[in-house]
Amino acid sequence: MKKRIVKTDDMTRVQFKLERNPRTKGVSVFAFFPDERDRHDGENYTSYSHVGQHSLCAKSYADKCKWAGFSQYIHLYDELVYQVGYRNLKVMNPDWETMKMFAVRDDFGERVNAIEARAS
């Protein structure tokens, strides 16, 4: 897979949200980029998921989805930074700063520190 560097100069705001699959009743996490509007249609914005990767997402849909918890989105955050090449992500999830601060001694904290070190 070819790595791409995305927005190295500016902060890229991202929201990690949960969506429910109506057939399987399973829940999956996706990243929603509220500042990356589709040029052809004002309602659609860029989103990203493990399976579908980059796609379009209606803002109204993302607004209805619940916030993902830190343990639910840390792997997708890792993928966005390390594999896709996003730099300077500003995670907007309400628990991000708290979890980052208190998770330093566990696996998630170590992952965030390692991810941010690689992104620098």
Q: Averaged over 2-31, what is the pLDDT? A: 79
**pLDDT band, very low/low/confident/very high, at 113 (cuts 50, 70, 90):** low
- Answer yes or no: is pLDDT of 28 > 80: yes
**Across all residues in the chain, what is the average pLDDT?**
81
Phi and psi at residue 24, to the nearest 5°? -95, -15
């730099």: which residue's tokens?
87
**pLDDT band, very low/low/confident/very high, at 38 (cuts 50, 70, 90):** confident
Domain boundaries, the chain: 12-119
**pLDDT band, very low/low/confident/very high, at 1 (cuts 50, 70, 90):** very low
Instruction: Indicate whether this model's pTM tops 0.85.
Output: no
- Answer yes or no: is pLDDT of 102 > 70: no
- Answer yes or no: is pLDDT of 100 > 50: yes
Contacts 24+ apart (CB under 8 A), 57-61: 57/30, 57/32, 59/34
The pLDDT, as a whole number, for residue 25 is: 83
